[in-house]
Structure 1
Amino acid sequence: MKVTAVHDRKMQFRIQARQHVLLSDQPVENGGEDEGMTPPELFLASLASCAAFYAAQYLAIRNLASGGIEVEVEADKLRDPARLGNLRLHVKSPVSLNADQHLGMERAVHRCLIHQTLLQPLSISIHLEMPVSR
């Protein structure tokens, strides 16, 4: 998988994955034009959409519902170092679930690729590339 972010102007970045493009920006009070989600909002959006996908699949496979799932993700902004923490997922099912189905839905959401990624120790390498000085 590969995603590329390119600085367009001011605080805006064009983000591309395969043929899909979206815009990230900052609110006006942070020097942006508020024309897109901030990077932390995109991070939470990734978790929410991944969890929603797994929840929707759970319902569809069991013929319980073919749409209508909603997932809300909230996080606190923590300091030292600055980061998001205390993530809370709120999954709203469009149909009532019995106790077994409720447990199954929770297990399905826990299998979300983003959720599982966040639960494991991460390794992030940074390679800085610059033009050669003459």
Structure 2
Amino acid sequence: MKISFPGGVAVNAEFDGFTVKSDQPVRAGGQGAAPSPFDLFLASLGTCAGFFALRFCQQRELSTEGLELTLDVERNPETHLPSKVRIAIELPTGFPDKYRDAIIRATDQCAVKRSIADPPEFEVLTV
């Protein structure tokens, strides 16, 4: 993954033929032209969890019409970092009761969430 700086406080990540753009809100000195890196982090968590919920339904040939996830983030007032992330799964109409606990367990297997729960070691260096 290559990180580049296209101007202002915008920062891009380039990988596998994709470019993910980020910027800061206007109030933080950016142009607000793209999501902030932290918002992309939350979107990564939500889309990963959503993928696991979606695949759960698809593998059981359950309707995904109306399937939706919502992320709510509580923040520590001192550090402003997340203290709790709540992922609410809106189930499709007629979703079988027998699968309610199972879809939660499946969604809980999201690799992004698991990476936060068991964080990697970080190393920052100059080259």
- TM-score, with length taken from structure 2: 0.88
Residue 40 of structure 2: SS of its match in structure 1? helix
Contact 2:75 2:82 in 1 (8 A): yes
Residue 85 of structure 1: SS of its match in structure 2? strand
- Give 1:21's aligned residue: 19
- TM-score, with length taken from structure 1: 0.84
Q: Tell me, in whole angstroms, the C-alpha distance in 1 between the residues paired with 2:123 and 2:80.
A: 19
Contact 1:54 1:111 in 2 (8 A): yes
Distance change >3 Å, CA 13–CA 72, structure 1 → 2:
same
Q: Tell me, in whole angstroms, the C-alpha distance in 2 between the residues paired with 1:102 and 1:15.
A: 37
- Give 1:123's aligned residue: 121
Q: Tell me, in whole angstroms, the C-alpha distance in 2 between the residues paired with 1:77 and 1:33.
A: 25
- Give CA-to-partner distance per residue, 1:1-26, whole Å, 9 cap, x none: xx332111111111222111121001
Tell me the CA shift for residue 63 of structure 1: 0.6
Q: Tell me, in whole angstroms, the C-alpha distance in 2 between the residues paired with 1:79 and 1:122.
A: 25
- Give CA-to-partner distance per residue, 1:68-103, whole Å, 9 cap, x none: 432221223335555222111122223332332101
Residue 29 of structure 1: SS of its match in structure 2? helix
- Give 2:31's aligned residue: 33
Q: Tell me, in whole angstroms, the C-alpha distance in 1 between the residues paired with 2:9 and 2:118.
A: 31
CA RMSD in angstroms comes to 1.8
Q: Hey, which bits of structure 1, 4+ residues long, moved more than 6 A?
A: none
When the two structures are aligned, how many residues end up with a matched partner? 127
- Give 2:111's aligned residue: 113
- Give 1:132's aligned residue: none
Distance change >3 Å, CA 125–CA 78, structure 1 → 2:
same
